Chain A
Protein backbone atom coordinates (compact mmCIF):
# COMPACT_ATOMS: atom_id res chain seq x y z
CA UNK A 1 0.00 0.00 0.00
CA UNK A 2 2.88 2.45 -0.40
CA UNK A 3 1.33 4.14 -3.44
CA UNK A 4 -1.84 5.24 -1.68
CA UNK A 5 -0.83 8.72 -0.44
CA UNK A 6 -0.09 9.89 -3.98
CA UNK A 7 -3.48 8.74 -5.19
CA UNK A 8 -5.25 10.50 -2.36
CA UNK A 9 -3.29 13.66 -3.03
CA UNK A 10 -4.30 13.51 -6.70
CA UNK A 11 -7.95 13.15 -5.77
CA UNK A 12 -7.51 16.09 -3.43
CA UNK A 13 -6.32 18.24 -6.34
CA UNK A 14 -9.37 17.23 -8.34
CA UNK A 15 -11.66 18.17 -5.43
CA UNK A 16 -9.88 21.48 -4.92
CA UNK A 17 -10.13 22.37 -8.61
CA UNK A 18 -13.80 21.39 -8.65
CA UNK A 19 -14.56 23.67 -5.72
CA UNK A 20 -12.54 26.53 -7.22
CA UNK A 21 -14.18 26.17 -10.64
CA UNK A 22 -17.65 26.24 -9.14
CA UNK A 23 -16.74 29.26 -7.02
CA UNK A 24 -14.60 31.39 -9.36
CA UNK A 25 -15.43 30.04 -12.80
CA UNK A 26 -13.24 28.12 -15.22
CA UNK A 27 -9.92 29.23 -16.68
CA UNK A 28 -11.11 28.57 -20.21
CA UNK A 29 -13.13 30.91 -22.42
CA UNK A 30 -16.11 29.37 -24.22
CA UNK A 31 -15.17 30.72 -27.62
CA UNK A 32 -18.25 31.34 -29.78
CA UNK A 33 -20.19 32.66 -26.78
CA UNK A 34 -17.38 34.59 -25.14
CA UNK A 35 -14.38 36.07 -26.88
CA UNK A 36 -10.90 36.87 -25.78
CA UNK A 37 -9.56 40.18 -26.92
CA UNK A 38 -6.06 39.73 -28.34
CA UNK A 39 -3.36 42.22 -27.37
CA UNK A 40 -2.96 45.35 -29.46
CA UNK A 41 0.19 44.11 -31.13
CA UNK A 42 -1.25 40.72 -32.07
CA UNK A 43 -0.61 39.83 -35.68
CA UNK A 44 -4.06 38.85 -36.84
CA UNK A 45 -4.61 40.22 -40.33
CA UNK A 46 -2.88 42.76 -42.56
CA UNK A 47 -4.83 45.87 -43.52
CA UNK A 48 -4.11 48.02 -46.57
CA UNK A 49 -4.49 51.78 -46.91
CA UNK A 50 -4.81 51.96 -50.65
CA UNK A 51 -4.18 55.73 -51.01
CA UNK A 52 -0.72 55.37 -49.51
CA UNK A 53 0.39 52.49 -51.72
CA UNK A 54 2.62 53.44 -54.62
CA UNK A 55 3.02 49.88 -55.94
CA UNK A 56 6.74 49.98 -55.19
CA UNK A 57 6.72 46.18 -54.80
CA UNK A 58 8.98 46.22 -51.73
CA UNK A 59 6.51 44.14 -49.71
CA UNK A 60 6.00 41.63 -52.50
CA UNK A 61 9.75 41.21 -52.91
CA UNK A 62 10.57 40.87 -49.24
CA UNK A 63 7.81 38.39 -48.47
CA UNK A 64 9.47 35.08 -47.52
CA UNK A 65 6.84 32.98 -49.28
CA UNK A 66 5.76 35.41 -51.97
CA UNK A 67 2.11 35.58 -51.05
CA UNK A 68 1.54 39.20 -52.08
CA UNK A 69 0.43 39.87 -55.63
CA UNK A 70 0.58 43.42 -56.98
CA UNK A 71 -0.37 44.75 -60.37
CA UNK A 72 -0.39 48.43 -61.28
CA UNK A 73 -0.38 50.72 -64.26
CA UNK A 74 0.92 54.23 -64.73
CA UNK A 75 -1.58 56.99 -65.31
CA UNK A 76 -1.60 60.76 -65.42
CA UNK A 77 -2.99 62.63 -62.46
CA UNK A 78 -3.94 66.31 -62.47
CA UNK A 79 -1.08 68.65 -61.50
CA UNK A 80 -0.62 69.68 -57.85
CA UNK A 81 -0.58 73.39 -58.68
CA UNK A 82 -2.57 75.14 -61.37
CA UNK A 83 -0.55 75.48 -64.55
CA UNK A 84 1.82 72.66 -63.63
CA UNK A 85 2.55 69.55 -65.60
CA UNK A 86 0.30 66.55 -65.01
CA UNK A 87 1.91 64.01 -62.67
CA UNK A 88 2.54 60.40 -63.42
CA UNK A 89 1.30 58.09 -60.66
CA UNK A 90 1.07 54.35 -60.20
CA UNK A 91 -2.50 53.23 -59.98
CA UNK A 92 -3.07 50.00 -58.07
CA UNK A 93 -5.04 47.45 -60.08
CA UNK A 94 -4.58 44.48 -57.86
CA UNK A 95 -3.27 43.99 -54.35
CA UNK A 96 -3.91 40.49 -53.07
CA UNK A 97 -2.59 38.73 -50.00
CA UNK A 98 -3.01 34.99 -49.94
CA UNK A 99 -3.63 34.14 -46.30
CA UNK A 100 -3.40 30.46 -47.14
CA UNK A 101 0.32 31.05 -47.72
CA UNK A 102 1.03 33.95 -45.39
CA UNK A 103 3.09 33.01 -42.35
CA UNK A 104 2.36 36.19 -40.42
CA UNK A 105 5.97 37.26 -40.08
CA UNK A 106 5.19 40.96 -40.54
CA UNK A 107 8.12 41.74 -42.82
CA UNK A 108 5.86 43.42 -45.40
CA UNK A 109 4.41 45.76 -42.78
CA UNK A 110 7.89 46.60 -41.64
CA UNK A 111 9.46 47.32 -45.03
CA UNK A 112 6.59 49.45 -46.34
CA UNK A 113 8.11 52.94 -46.70
CA UNK A 114 4.78 54.73 -47.24
CA UNK A 115 2.74 53.39 -44.29
CA UNK A 116 0.27 51.54 -46.42
CA UNK A 117 0.22 48.24 -44.52
CA UNK A 118 -0.86 47.74 -40.90
CA UNK A 119 -1.42 44.88 -38.50
CA UNK A 120 -4.87 44.34 -37.08
CA UNK A 121 -5.52 41.86 -34.24
CA UNK A 122 -8.69 40.65 -35.98
CA UNK A 123 -8.69 36.86 -36.32
CA UNK A 124 -12.15 35.72 -37.40
CA UNK A 125 -11.80 35.28 -41.14
CA UNK A 126 -11.60 31.55 -41.63
CA UNK A 127 -13.26 30.28 -44.78
CA UNK A 128 -14.66 26.94 -45.83
CA UNK A 129 -12.86 27.20 -49.18
CA UNK A 130 -9.11 27.77 -49.32
CA UNK A 131 -9.43 30.04 -52.37
CA UNK A 132 -11.49 32.49 -50.33
CA UNK A 133 -8.48 33.17 -48.16
CA UNK A 134 -7.09 35.32 -50.97
CA UNK A 135 -8.03 38.81 -49.82
CA UNK A 136 -8.21 41.46 -52.51
CA UNK A 137 -7.59 45.16 -52.04
CA UNK A 138 -11.18 46.08 -51.12
CA UNK A 139 -11.26 43.41 -48.44
CA UNK A 140 -7.81 44.41 -47.19
CA UNK A 141 -9.03 48.01 -47.11
CA UNK A 142 -11.99 47.02 -44.94
CA UNK A 143 -9.60 45.68 -42.31
CA UNK A 144 -8.31 49.25 -41.86
CA UNK A 145 -11.24 49.96 -39.53
CA UNK A 146 -10.00 47.35 -37.08
CA UNK A 147 -6.43 48.65 -36.86
CA UNK A 148 -5.75 49.89 -33.31
CA UNK A 149 -3.55 52.77 -32.23
CA UNK A 150 0.03 51.80 -31.47
CA UNK A 151 0.35 51.13 -27.72
CA UNK A 152 2.26 53.40 -25.36
CA UNK A 153 5.76 52.14 -24.62
CA UNK A 154 7.25 50.96 -21.33
CA UNK A 155 9.22 53.25 -19.03
CA UNK A 156 12.71 53.95 -20.33
CA UNK A 157 11.88 53.43 -23.99
CA UNK A 158 13.25 55.88 -26.49
CA UNK A 159 10.67 58.06 -28.25
CA UNK A 160 10.09 57.28 -31.90
CA UNK A 161 11.17 60.03 -34.24
Chain B
Protein backbone atom coordinates (compact mmCIF):
# COMPACT_ATOMS: atom_id res chain seq x y z
CA UNK B 1 0.00 0.00 0.00
CA UNK B 2 2.88 2.38 0.69
CA UNK B 3 4.43 1.68 -2.70
CA UNK B 4 4.06 4.78 -4.85
CA UNK B 5 3.91 4.58 -8.60
CA UNK B 6 6.13 6.78 -10.67
CA UNK B 7 3.25 9.08 -11.51
CA UNK B 8 2.40 9.49 -7.85
CA UNK B 9 5.98 10.35 -7.07
CA UNK B 10 6.09 12.94 -9.84
CA UNK B 11 2.90 14.52 -8.62
CA UNK B 12 4.25 14.60 -5.09
CA UNK B 13 7.44 16.27 -6.24
CA UNK B 14 5.40 18.84 -8.16
CA UNK B 15 3.37 19.68 -5.09
CA UNK B 16 6.52 19.98 -2.98
CA UNK B 17 7.98 22.28 -5.62
CA UNK B 18 4.87 24.43 -5.48
CA UNK B 19 5.26 24.64 -1.73
CA UNK B 20 8.87 25.60 -2.06
CA UNK B 21 8.15 28.29 -4.59
CA UNK B 22 6.22 30.22 -1.97
CA UNK B 23 9.30 30.48 0.16
CA UNK B 24 11.66 31.70 -2.51
CA UNK B 25 12.61 35.30 -2.02
CA UNK B 26 12.15 36.21 -5.66
CA UNK B 27 8.51 35.39 -5.54
CA UNK B 28 6.40 36.56 -8.45
CA UNK B 29 3.11 38.06 -7.49
CA UNK B 30 0.42 35.40 -7.52
CA UNK B 31 -3.14 35.67 -8.62
CA UNK B 32 -6.27 34.54 -6.85
CA UNK B 33 -8.71 32.72 -9.06
CA UNK B 34 -12.24 32.19 -7.88
CA UNK B 35 -13.89 29.20 -9.46
CA UNK B 36 -17.53 29.52 -8.62
CA UNK B 37 -19.86 29.88 -6.80
CA UNK B 38 -21.58 30.17 -10.16
CA UNK B 39 -19.57 28.11 -12.56
CA UNK B 40 -20.71 25.36 -14.88
CA UNK B 41 -17.90 23.05 -13.81
CA UNK B 42 -18.77 23.09 -10.13
CA UNK B 43 -22.11 21.23 -10.44
CA UNK B 44 -23.81 23.81 -8.28
CA UNK B 45 -22.56 26.50 -6.01
CA UNK B 46 -19.21 25.24 -4.80
CA UNK B 47 -16.55 27.92 -4.71
CA UNK B 48 -12.91 27.01 -5.07
CA UNK B 49 -10.47 29.74 -4.15
CA UNK B 50 -7.22 29.01 -5.94
CA UNK B 51 -4.00 30.93 -5.62
CA UNK B 52 -2.07 30.71 -8.85
CA UNK B 53 1.53 31.10 -9.78
CA UNK B 54 1.43 31.35 -13.52
CA UNK B 55 -0.58 28.34 -14.62
CA UNK B 56 0.08 26.35 -11.48
CA UNK B 57 -2.06 26.24 -8.38
CA UNK B 58 -0.04 26.84 -5.25
CA UNK B 59 -2.89 26.93 -2.77
CA UNK B 60 -6.54 26.02 -3.09
CA UNK B 61 -9.45 25.82 -0.74
CA UNK B 62 -13.08 24.85 -1.24
CA UNK B 63 -15.64 27.22 0.21
CA UNK B 64 -18.87 25.35 0.72
CA UNK B 65 -22.15 26.46 2.24
CA UNK B 66 -23.74 28.53 -0.51
CA UNK B 67 -26.63 26.11 -0.63
CA UNK B 68 -26.92 25.12 3.01
CA UNK B 69 -30.48 24.07 3.72
CA UNK B 70 -30.12 23.07 7.33
CA UNK B 71 -31.45 19.54 7.13
CA UNK B 72 -29.91 18.43 10.41
CA UNK B 73 -31.82 21.14 12.21
CA UNK B 74 -35.00 20.68 10.16
CA UNK B 75 -35.27 17.03 11.10
CA UNK B 76 -35.61 18.05 14.75
CA UNK B 77 -38.96 19.70 14.06
CA UNK B 78 -40.35 16.95 11.85
CA UNK B 79 -41.83 13.58 12.72
CA UNK B 80 -40.09 10.39 11.61
CA UNK B 81 -42.32 9.77 8.56
CA UNK B 82 -41.85 13.38 7.46
CA UNK B 83 -38.07 13.20 7.64
CA UNK B 84 -37.76 10.82 4.68
CA UNK B 85 -39.45 13.35 2.42
CA UNK B 86 -36.77 15.86 3.41
CA UNK B 87 -33.64 13.78 3.34
CA UNK B 88 -34.08 12.39 -0.13
CA UNK B 89 -33.24 15.89 -1.31
CA UNK B 90 -29.71 15.70 0.08
CA UNK B 91 -28.12 13.88 -2.83
CA UNK B 92 -30.75 14.57 -5.42
CA UNK B 93 -29.40 12.24 -8.08
CA UNK B 94 -29.52 9.12 -5.93
CA UNK B 95 -32.37 10.08 -3.68
CA UNK B 96 -33.64 6.65 -2.68
CA UNK B 97 -30.21 5.76 -1.34
CA UNK B 98 -30.46 8.70 1.09
CA UNK B 99 -33.59 7.37 2.73
CA UNK B 100 -32.29 3.89 3.44
CA UNK B 101 -29.67 4.56 6.17
CA UNK B 102 -32.04 6.82 8.10
CA UNK B 103 -34.85 4.29 7.98
CA UNK B 104 -32.45 1.54 9.00
CA UNK B 105 -31.29 3.62 11.97
CA UNK B 106 -34.88 4.22 13.07
CA UNK B 107 -35.67 0.52 12.64
CA UNK B 108 -32.61 -0.34 14.68
CA UNK B 109 -33.93 1.81 17.53
CA UNK B 110 -37.41 0.34 17.26
CA UNK B 111 -35.94 -3.16 17.04
CA UNK B 112 -37.99 -4.13 13.99
CA UNK B 113 -36.81 -5.48 10.69
CA UNK B 114 -38.37 -5.15 7.28
CA UNK B 115 -39.71 -8.37 5.70
CA UNK B 116 -37.38 -10.12 3.19
CA UNK B 117 -39.34 -8.93 0.18
CA UNK B 118 -39.09 -5.33 1.34
CA UNK B 119 -35.35 -5.75 1.88
CA UNK B 120 -35.01 -7.08 -1.65
CA UNK B 121 -36.97 -4.24 -3.23
CA UNK B 122 -35.07 -1.72 -1.13
CA UNK B 123 -31.76 -3.06 -2.36
CA UNK B 124 -32.95 -3.05 -5.98
CA UNK B 125 -34.12 0.56 -5.77
CA UNK B 126 -30.88 1.45 -3.98
CA UNK B 127 -28.82 0.03 -6.81
CA UNK B 128 -31.08 1.65 -9.41
CA UNK B 129 -30.47 5.03 -7.84
CA UNK B 130 -26.74 4.28 -7.92
CA UNK B 131 -27.01 3.53 -11.62
CA UNK B 132 -28.99 6.72 -12.27
CA UNK B 133 -26.51 8.77 -10.26
CA UNK B 134 -23.23 7.37 -11.56
CA UNK B 135 -24.67 7.03 -15.07
CA UNK B 136 -25.05 10.78 -15.17
CA UNK B 137 -21.51 11.17 -13.82
CA UNK B 138 -20.16 9.12 -16.70
CA UNK B 139 -21.87 11.38 -19.19
CA UNK B 140 -21.02 14.57 -17.37
CA UNK B 141 -17.38 13.59 -17.25
CA UNK B 142 -17.03 14.12 -20.97
CA UNK B 143 -18.59 17.57 -20.85
CA UNK B 144 -15.94 18.77 -18.41
CA UNK B 145 -13.36 17.96 -21.04
CA UNK B 146 -15.32 19.28 -24.00
CA UNK B 147 -16.86 16.05 -25.24
CA UNK B 148 -20.57 16.60 -25.67
CA UNK B 149 -21.75 13.23 -26.94
CA UNK B 150 -21.46 11.15 -23.73
CA UNK B 151 -23.88 13.39 -21.85
CA UNK B 152 -26.59 12.78 -24.42
CA UNK B 153 -26.02 9.06 -24.21
CA UNK B 154 -26.16 9.26 -20.41
CA UNK B 155 -29.37 11.27 -20.34
CA UNK B 156 -30.96 8.90 -22.83
CA UNK B 157 -30.21 5.78 -20.82
CA UNK B 158 -30.68 7.31 -17.38
CA UNK B 159 -34.24 8.10 -18.44
CA UNK B 160 -35.04 4.39 -18.55
CA UNK B 161 -33.87 4.01 -14.95
CA UNK B 162 -35.80 7.05 -13.81
CA UNK B 163 -38.91 5.68 -15.51
CA UNK B 164 -38.47 2.47 -13.53
CA UNK B 165 -38.10 4.37 -10.27
CA UNK B 166 -41.15 6.48 -11.11
CA UNK B 167 -43.18 3.44 -12.11
CA UNK B 168 -42.54 1.77 -8.77
CA UNK B 169 -42.50 4.71 -6.38
CA UNK B 170 -44.39 7.52 -8.12
CA UNK B 171 -41.55 10.00 -7.93
CA UNK B 172 -38.78 10.39 -10.44
CA UNK B 173 -36.35 12.22 -8.22
CA UNK B 174 -37.85 12.10 -4.77
CA UNK B 175 -39.31 8.63 -4.30
CA UNK B 176 -40.18 8.92 -0.58
CA UNK B 177 -41.00 5.24 -0.79
CA UNK B 178 -39.20 3.91 2.23
CA UNK B 179 -41.14 3.55 5.46
CA UNK B 180 -40.13 2.47 8.92
CA UNK B 181 -40.83 -1.26 8.84
CA UNK B 182 -40.85 -1.76 5.09
CA UNK B 183 -42.03 -0.02 1.95
CA UNK B 184 -45.05 2.05 1.06
CA UNK B 185 -46.31 -0.34 -1.58
CA UNK B 186 -45.39 -3.40 -3.58
CA UNK B 187 -44.10 -3.27 -7.14
CA UNK B 188 -46.59 -2.81 -9.98
CA UNK B 189 -47.19 -5.65 -12.39
CA UNK B 190 -44.67 -6.08 -15.18
CA UNK B 191 -41.97 -4.10 -13.38
CA UNK B 192 -39.54 -6.99 -13.02
CA UNK B 193 -39.50 -7.82 -16.73
CA UNK B 194 -39.11 -4.19 -17.62
CA UNK B 195 -36.18 -3.84 -15.22
CA UNK B 196 -34.41 -6.83 -16.77
CA UNK B 197 -34.62 -5.21 -20.19
CA UNK B 198 -33.37 -1.87 -18.91
CA UNK B 199 -30.42 -3.53 -17.17
CA UNK B 200 -29.45 -5.07 -20.49
CA UNK B 201 -29.63 -1.64 -22.13
CA UNK B 202 -27.47 -0.13 -19.39
CA UNK B 203 -24.77 -2.71 -19.82
CA UNK B 204 -24.76 -1.66 -23.47
CA UNK B 205 -24.46 1.95 -22.36
CA UNK B 206 -21.44 1.06 -20.21
CA UNK B 207 -19.75 -0.63 -23.15
CA UNK B 208 -20.52 2.38 -25.31
CA UNK B 209 -19.07 4.85 -22.78
CA UNK B 210 -16.03 2.68 -22.19
CA UNK B 211 -15.34 2.52 -25.91
CA UNK B 212 -16.16 6.13 -26.73
CA UNK B 213 -14.90 8.03 -23.71
CA UNK B 214 -12.43 5.83 -21.86
CA UNK B 215 -10.90 4.71 -25.14
CA UNK B 216 -10.47 8.27 -26.31
CA UNK B 217 -6.87 9.43 -26.43
CA UNK B 218 -7.69 13.00 -25.41
CA UNK B 219 -9.62 11.79 -22.39
CA UNK B 220 -6.80 9.51 -21.41
CA UNK B 221 -4.16 12.19 -21.65
CA UNK B 222 -6.33 14.57 -19.60
CA UNK B 223 -6.93 12.09 -16.79
CA UNK B 224 -4.05 9.62 -16.58
CA UNK B 225 -1.56 10.61 -13.90
CA UNK B 226 -3.56 13.73 -12.98
CA UNK B 227 -4.67 14.30 -9.41
CA UNK B 228 -3.01 11.28 -7.85
CA UNK B 229 -4.20 10.47 -4.33
CA UNK B 230 -2.11 7.78 -2.59
CA UNK B 231 -3.97 5.32 -0.42
CA UNK B 232 -2.76 6.58 2.94
CA UNK B 233 -3.61 10.20 2.10
CA UNK B 234 -7.05 9.11 0.92
CA UNK B 235 -7.61 7.36 4.22
CA UNK B 236 -6.39 10.30 6.25
CA UNK B 237 -8.78 12.69 4.53
CA UNK B 238 -11.69 10.33 5.10
CA UNK B 239 -12.46 9.65 1.48
CA UNK B 240 -14.99 6.94 0.88
CA UNK B 241 -16.67 5.13 -1.95
CA UNK B 242 -15.17 4.98 -5.40
CA UNK B 243 -12.61 7.69 -4.58
CA UNK B 244 -11.08 5.46 -1.93
CA UNK B 245 -11.32 2.30 -4.01
CA UNK B 246 -9.57 4.05 -6.89
CA UNK B 247 -6.59 4.57 -4.59
CA UNK B 248 -6.29 0.84 -4.16
CA UNK B 249 -8.11 0.42 -0.84
CA UNK B 250 -10.45 -2.56 -0.88
CA UNK B 251 -13.31 -1.05 1.07
CA UNK B 252 -17.03 -1.43 0.46
CA UNK B 253 -19.70 -1.05 3.12
CA UNK B 254 -22.13 -3.18 1.14
CA UNK B 255 -19.84 -6.16 1.64
CA UNK B 256 -18.05 -5.28 4.87
CA UNK B 257 -20.97 -4.80 7.21
CA UNK B 258 -24.11 -6.80 7.76
CA UNK B 259 -27.24 -4.71 7.38
CA UNK B 260 -30.82 -5.91 6.97
CA UNK B 261 -30.45 -5.50 3.22
CA UNK B 262 -30.09 -8.06 0.46
CA UNK B 263 -26.46 -7.47 -0.51
CA UNK B 264 -25.25 -10.55 1.31
CA UNK B 265 -27.52 -12.68 -0.88
CA UNK B 266 -25.75 -11.73 -4.11
CA UNK B 267 -22.16 -12.02 -5.17
CA UNK B 268 -20.51 -9.01 -6.69
CA UNK B 269 -16.99 -7.83 -7.21
CA UNK B 270 -15.64 -4.74 -5.51
CA UNK B 271 -13.47 -3.04 -8.10
CA UNK B 272 -10.32 -1.28 -7.08
CA UNK B 273 -7.59 0.41 -9.07
CA UNK B 274 -3.98 0.83 -7.93
CA UNK B 275 -3.29 4.20 -9.61
CA UNK B 276 -5.37 6.68 -7.62
CA UNK B 277 -5.50 9.23 -10.45
CA UNK B 278 -8.53 10.82 -12.12
CA UNK B 279 -8.65 8.00 -14.62
CA UNK B 280 -8.82 5.38 -11.88
CA UNK B 281 -11.70 7.16 -10.13
CA UNK B 282 -13.72 7.33 -13.35
CA UNK B 283 -12.88 3.75 -14.28
CA UNK B 284 -13.89 2.36 -10.88
CA UNK B 285 -17.25 4.11 -11.15
CA UNK B 286 -17.84 2.70 -14.61
CA UNK B 287 -17.22 -0.80 -13.31
CA UNK B 288 -19.54 -0.11 -10.40
CA UNK B 289 -22.44 0.67 -12.70
CA UNK B 290 -21.84 -2.65 -14.44
CA UNK B 291 -21.68 -4.43 -11.10
CA UNK B 292 -24.90 -2.75 -9.97
CA UNK B 293 -26.78 -3.98 -13.03
CA UNK B 294 -25.62 -7.49 -12.19
CA UNK B 295 -26.73 -7.11 -8.55
CA UNK B 296 -30.17 -5.97 -9.71
CA UNK B 297 -30.44 -8.92 -12.09
CA UNK B 298 -29.54 -11.39 -9.37
CA UNK B 299 -31.99 -9.85 -6.92
CA UNK B 300 -34.81 -9.94 -9.47
CA UNK B 301 -34.22 -13.65 -9.94
CA UNK B 302 -34.38 -14.41 -6.22
CA UNK B 303 -37.28 -12.14 -5.25
CA UNK B 304 -39.10 -13.75 -2.32
CA UNK B 305 -42.90 -13.57 -1.96
CA UNK B 306 -44.61 -12.06 1.03
CA UNK B 307 -45.57 -8.77 2.61
CA UNK B 308 -43.57 -5.58 2.21
CA UNK B 309 -44.50 -4.06 5.54
CA UNK B 310 -43.77 -5.30 9.05
CA UNK B 311 -46.20 -4.73 11.88
CA UNK B 312 -45.70 -1.12 12.86
CA UNK B 313 -47.94 1.08 15.03
CA UNK B 314 -49.91 3.69 13.17
CA UNK B 315 -48.34 6.53 15.09
CA UNK B 316 -44.62 5.96 15.06
CA UNK B 317 -42.77 6.77 18.26
CA UNK B 318 -39.14 5.73 18.27
CA UNK B 319 -37.90 4.61 21.68
CA UNK B 320 -35.17 6.48 23.48
CA UNK B 321 -31.68 5.69 22.29
CA UNK B 322 -28.98 6.42 19.76
CA UNK B 323 -28.17 4.60 16.55
CA UNK B 324 -25.63 4.98 13.78
CA UNK B 325 -26.16 3.36 10.39
CA UNK B 326 -24.17 4.08 7.28
CA UNK B 327 -24.41 2.59 3.82
CA UNK B 328 -22.39 2.65 0.65
CA UNK B 329 -24.20 5.36 -1.28
CA UNK B 330 -23.41 6.27 -4.90
CA UNK B 331 -21.02 8.97 -3.68
CA UNK B 332 -19.47 7.10 -0.80
CA UNK B 333 -20.26 6.42 2.82
CA UNK B 334 -23.44 8.10 3.97
CA UNK B 335 -24.59 7.68 7.52
CA UNK B 336 -27.09 9.00 10.00
CA UNK B 337 -26.56 9.25 13.73
CA UNK B 338 -30.08 9.40 15.13
CA UNK B 339 -30.72 10.41 18.72
CA UNK B 340 -34.27 9.81 19.88
CA UNK B 341 -35.86 10.83 23.15
CA UNK B 342 -38.97 8.73 22.61
CA UNK B 343 -40.91 11.46 20.80
CA UNK B 344 -42.63 11.57 17.44
CA UNK B 345 -39.56 13.08 15.86
CA UNK B 346 -35.81 12.66 16.30
CA UNK B 347 -34.08 14.75 18.96
CA UNK B 348 -30.94 15.23 16.92
CA UNK B 349 -29.70 13.82 13.63
CA UNK B 350 -26.12 14.00 12.45
CA UNK B 351 -25.80 13.45 8.72
CA UNK B 352 -22.48 12.21 7.44
CA UNK B 353 -22.58 12.76 3.72
CA UNK B 354 -19.91 11.46 1.42
CA UNK B 355 -19.27 14.52 -0.75
CA UNK B 356 -18.33 16.76 2.16
CA UNK B 357 -15.43 14.53 3.06
CA UNK B 358 -14.58 13.85 -0.55
CA UNK B 359 -14.02 17.50 -1.39
CA UNK B 360 -12.05 18.08 1.79
CA UNK B 361 -9.06 16.65 -0.03
CA UNK B 362 -9.09 19.40 -2.69
CA UNK B 363 -6.48 21.59 -0.92
CA UNK B 364 -4.09 18.65 -0.96
CA UNK B 365 -4.78 17.30 -4.40
CA UNK B 366 -5.04 20.63 -6.21
CA UNK B 367 -1.64 21.81 -5.00
CA UNK B 368 0.73 21.91 -7.92
CA UNK B 369 -1.73 21.09 -10.69
CA UNK B 370 -2.39 23.26 -13.71
CA UNK B 371 -5.59 25.28 -14.04
CA UNK B 372 -7.33 23.12 -16.68
CA UNK B 373 -6.71 20.06 -14.52
CA UNK B 374 -8.68 21.56 -11.63
CA UNK B 375 -11.84 20.86 -13.58
CA UNK B 376 -11.00 17.27 -14.42
CA UNK B 377 -9.92 16.53 -10.84
CA UNK B 378 -13.09 18.03 -9.41
CA UNK B 379 -15.16 16.12 -11.94
CA UNK B 380 -13.45 12.86 -11.10
CA UNK B 381 -13.82 13.40 -7.35
CA UNK B 382 -17.56 13.62 -8.09
CA UNK B 383 -19.63 15.50 -5.62
CA UNK B 384 -23.21 16.66 -5.50
CA UNK B 385 -23.63 20.10 -4.00
CA UNK B 386 -26.66 19.11 -1.99
CA UNK B 387 -24.57 16.38 -0.47
CA UNK B 388 -21.85 18.82 0.57
CA UNK B 389 -24.01 21.56 2.04
CA UNK B 390 -26.98 19.52 3.22
A→B interface (CB under 8 Å): 2-3, 5-6, 9-10, 13-14, 27, 38-43, 62, 64, 103-107, 110, 119, 151-158
Chain A neighbourhood of B86, CB < 8 A: 64
> A103 vs B78: C-alpha distance in the bound complex, in angstroms?
14
Interface string of B179-192 (1 = CB under 8 A from A): 00000111111111
Say whether A153 contacts B189, CB under 8 Å: yes
Which residue from B166, B174, B304 sits with its C-beta under 8 Å from A103? B174
With A153-B189, A154-B191, A158-B306 already in contact, the answer to whether A42 and B170 are too (CB < 8 A) is: yes
Say whether B188 contacts A10, CB under 8 Å: no
9 contacts between A and B (CB under 8 A): A6-B218, A6-B219, A27-B159, A41-B185, A42-B170, A110-B184, A151-B189, A157-B308, A158-B306
> A41 vs B169: C-alpha distance in the bound complex, in angstroms?
7
Chain B neighbourhood of A2, CB < 8 A: 217
For chain B, the count of residues having a C-beta within 8 Å of the partner chain is 43
B→A interface (CB under 8 Å): 78-79, 81-82, 85-86, 117, 147, 149, 156, 159, 163, 166-171, 174, 176, 184-192, 211-212, 215-219, 221, 303-308
Chain A neighbourhood of B219, CB < 8 A: 6
With A6-B218, A27-B156 already in contact, the answer to whether A157 and B186 are too (CB < 8 A) is: yes
Which residue from B192, B216, B306 sits with its C-beta under 8 Å from A154? B192
> A38 vs B218: C-alpha distance in the bound complex, in angstroms?
40
Say whether B85 contacts A13, CB under 8 Å: no
Say whether A41 contacts B191, CB under 8 Å: no
Say whether A104 contacts B171, CB under 8 Å: yes
> A44 vs B191: C-alpha distance in the bound complex, in angstroms?
20
> A135 vs B179: C-alpha distance in the bound complex, in angstroms?
28
Nearest CB in chain B: distance from A104 CB, A: 7
> A86 vs B190: C-alpha distance in the bound complex, in angstroms?
50
> A151 vs B187: C-alpha distance in the bound complex, in angstroms?
9
Chain B neighbourhood of A119, CB < 8 A: 170
Chain B neighbourhood of A41, CB < 8 A: 166-170, 185, 188
Chain B neighbourhood of A152, CB < 8 A: 188-189
Nearest CB in chain B: distance from A118 CB, A: 12
Chain B residue nearest to A111 (CB atoms) is B81
Nearest CB in chain B: distance from A29 CB, A: 10
Chain A residue nearest to B74 (CB atoms) is A64
Nearest CB in chain A: distance from B185 CB, A: 8
Nearest CB in chain A: distance from B82 CB, A: 4
Chain A neighbourhood of B176, CB < 8 A: 105-107
Chain B neighbourhood of A5, CB < 8 A: 217
Chain A neighbourhood of B212, CB < 8 A: 9-10, 13
Say whether B170 contacts A153, CB under 8 Å: no
Chain A neighbourhood of B156, CB < 8 A: 27
Nearest CB in chain A: distance from B351 CB, A: 17
> A9 vs B216: C-alpha distance in the bound complex, in angstroms?
8
With A103-B174, A152-B188, A154-B188 already in contact, the answer to whether A6 and B166 are too (CB < 8 A) is: no
Nearest CB in chain A: distance from B109 CB, A: 21
> A42 vs B85: C-alpha distance in the bound complex, in angstroms?
16
Chain B neighbourhood of A158, CB < 8 A: 186, 305-308
Chain A neighbourhood of B305, CB < 8 A: 155-158
Say whether A39 contacts B167, CB under 8 Å: yes
> A115 vs B186: C-alpha distance in the bound complex, in angstroms?
19
Nearest CB in chain A: distance from B205 CB, A: 13
Which one of B167, B192, B307 has the greatest number of beta carbons of chain A within 10 Å? B167
Nearest CB in chain B: distance from A114 CB, A: 14
Nearest CB in chain B: distance from A151 CB, A: 4
Which residue from B81, B168, B169, B304 sits with its C-beta under 8 Å from A156? B304
Chain A residue nearest to B220 (CB atoms) is A6
> A155 vs B305: C-alpha distance in the bound complex, in angstroms?
8
19 further contact pairs, Cβ within 8 A, besides A103-B85, A157-B305: A3-B217, A9-B212, A9-B215, A13-B212, A39-B188, A41-B166, A41-B167, A41-B170, A42-B171, A43-B170, A62-B82, A64-B85, A110-B184, A152-B189, A154-B188, A154-B191, A155-B192, A156-B303, A156-B306
> A2 vs B218: C-alpha distance in the bound complex, in angstroms?
9
Chain B neighbourhood of A153, CB < 8 A: 186-189
Chain B neighbourhood of A155, CB < 8 A: 189, 192, 305
Which residue from A10, A105, A151 sits with its C-beta under 8 Å from B85? A105
Which residue from B85, B187, B304 sits with its C-beta under 8 Å from A107? B85
Nearest CB in chain A: distance from B279 CB, A: 15
Say whether A157 contacts B187, CB under 8 Å: yes
Chain B residue nearest to A27 (CB atoms) is B156
In the A-B complex, the 5 residue pairs with the smallest Cβ-Cβ separation, listed nearest first, are A156-B305, A105-B85, A157-B186, A6-B216, A154-B187
